[in-house]
Structure 1
């Protein structure tokens, strides 16, 4: 199995990175945190123009008709820049559900509409249900359009969580494939978040001085950052392998997605803890940009399936003989 991305993937990633680099994401995120979604929606519209929103939407419905590998490439970049809003739900989960129950709604997603999804027990609340064009609720195999209810807080201020109530039944479909896409996309976001946390930490330790020396010269600091780099690099093949398994419809796809979600989550969480250690308490203050990445990482580690759930799914797959 070949894990290397081809030139088209690299170009796609670079275009998303360039767009988001120019967008002053810390300012956009802080606005979203306070309920001012206009700057964020402007970024989302620009992403739609590059094809991100319509990645998994068929060409028949004005999308790109891309696959899980393209999804991972895009979502890693959205993670690197900590894009606010229902990222996984809009780009991955909603297109999978609507393709089965309401394909006439797909064109709106491809053109820039946002969607969110609640699907108990793993995703009981809908992210940013007050700021989207479509709220979906999944109950077993039944998919319904829904309305937002009571709001709950998250450690990530850019993730407003809402209870939902089903309003209109759209149809029935198996949720497993959509859930796997949600977990895979979340893993890609975590990989991107971890990379930014590592890069930011490396830059910081090359500047901060203590006892007359930059702290990056201390052996202990080097070891901590090296551990993060190794964890992220070891997670990447699992992430790409899971994307290929989903793309090709392999029987190991669910197991591979769970392995990727655990590995990327663990690596990103290690990156967040290490970043906080090397920066000190300032790293967690709301005024410091790093905190926006740390809190999002903490929230996404348990999104679309907790680490315990995904570890259990890997074990169950191995015990049942789904091992290759």
Structure 2
């Protein structure tokens, strides 16, 4: 089957890309990490005006994936998966303001509960309002995690599947950004009188990342068209693997500078590391795929 985006979908993705490209999202992510939420909340309002908080209920999963790929590519902070993917389906309507949710055991903490207008806890009996408790550190400094009181296992429903798919799309976008920045860097960095990107070993590493991302993208779009648990889990696993490969390769080609917080690359690398286990670990999603294949 050949899948192509419609002209409206391409226009939507282009307008969103233009907005985010002009927003200096790296500075916004750094400010959010340091507790200055004002720039991020301003960007949140602009994105909400573009309709991102309405996509889960008013559009298709394809548009959701396009939006979250852009959010990942630009490292936009905030509980977007919670507010724009999970909660609209779980509640049955668009979320007012900013909301977040803990969905144990796969998402045990509520992301950015300190700035949310409402905090929820998903349990066996559905959603209940919750109060944030102890704050926990994340490898991604822009992800502020808070404990909420657990009441039981989370329901495995369409809201959860869309949240997982949105996270997969974020990983895909973040991986694309790391690859693009790495390609730009190896064309500029020179050693022994030549660009390091001219060395075959580096070309092969970057080509492996390109292939991994290109193989992950059809799984995301395929799951968006038919969001079965197996398809969604496959997309999450492939995007997680591809983005993690992009982050490791990005570190290798950048060298020691890639480890520093002052360098923008670190924003995407830490975000990828956090998102790989967000909304279900690799073990959980691989288990779902296996169970679906063997009929367990």
Instruction: Provide the TM-score with structure 2 as the length reference.
Output: 0.96
RMSD between aligned alpha carbons? Answer: 1.5
Q: Counterpart in 2 of 1:236? A: 217
> Following TM superposition, by how much is the alpha carbon of 1:212 offset from its aligned partner in structure 2, in angstroms?
0.6
Q: Report the CA distance shift for 1:132/1:24 in structure 2 as closer, same or farther (over 3 A).
A: same
Q: Is the 8 A contact 1:301 1:307 kept in 2?
A: yes
Deviations 1:212-235 (A, max 9, x none): 100000000000000000000000
Unmatched 5+ stretches in structure 1: 58-64, 168-172, 247-252
Alpha carbons 2:103, 2:122 under 8 Å: kept: yes
List per-residue Cα deviations over 1:121-175 (Å, max 9, x = no partner). 11100000001111110112321011110000000000010001379xxxxx954
In the TM superposition, what is the alpha-carbon distance from 1:114 to its structure 2 partner? 1.3
| Contact 1:141/1:175, CA 8 A, preserved across alignment | no
1:14 aligns with 2:7: no
Per-residue CA shift, 1:69-90, capped at 9, x if unaligned? 1100111011100100111111
1:295–1:174 Cα change, 3 Å: closer
Question: Bigger CA drift: 29-38 or 135-144?
Answer: 135-144
Checking the alignment, whether the CA contact within 8 Å between 2:69 and 2:171 is kept in structure 1 is: yes
1:185 pairs with one of 166, 177, 193: 166
Structure 2 counterpart of 1:202: 183
The answer to whether the aligner puts 1:82 opposite 2:75 as a matched pair is yes
C-alpha distance 136-175 of structure 1, shift in aligned 2 (>3 A): farther
Counterpart in the other structure of 2:195: 214
Residue number among 122, 131, 136 corresponding to 1:152 in the alignment? 136
Residues in 2 aligned to 1:276 and 1:244: alpha-carbon distance in whole angstroms: 34
8 Å CA contact 1:239, 1:260 repeated in 2: yes
Tell me if the contact between 2:134 and 2:146 (Cα under 8 Å) persists in the aligned partners: yes
For the residues of structure 2 that align with 1:258 and 1:22, how far apart are their CA atoms?
33
What corresponds to 2:292 in structure 1? 317
Q: CA deviation at 1:177?
A: 1.3
Q: Map of 1:272-291 to 2, 5 A cutoff? A: 272-291=247-266
Describe the superposition over 1:88-133 as per-residue Cα deviations: whole angstroms up to 9, x where unpaired: 111100101111xxx4xx362xxxx111110111110000000111
Q: Could you say what secondary structure the match of 2:135 adopts?
A: strand
Residue 42 of structure 2: aligned partner:
42
Q: Is the 8 A contact 1:284 1:294 kept in 2?
A: no
* Aligned partners of 2:88 and 2:95 also within 8 Å: no
**How far 1:53 sits from its partner (Å)?**
1.3
- Structure 2 partner of 1:60: none
Give the TM-score taking structure 1 as reference length.
Answer: 0.88
- How many Å separate the matches in 2 of 1:134 and 1:3? 38
Please tell me whether the aligned partners of residues 144 and 166 of structure 1 are also in contact (alpha carbons under 8 angstroms): no
Q: 1:138 aligns to what SS in structure 2?
A: strand
**Aligned partners of 2:42 and 2:51: how far apart in 1?**
15
SS in 2 for 1:147: coil
Q: How does 1:47-62 map to 2 (within 5 A)?
A: 47-57=47-57
CA contact (8 A) 2:104 2:122 kept: yes
Note if contact 2:84-2:95 (Cα within 8 Å) is conserved in structure 1.
no
**Is 1:71 aligned with 2:64?**
yes
Gap regions ≥5 residues in structure 2 = none
Q: Distance in 2 between matches of 1:203 and 1:266?
A: 22
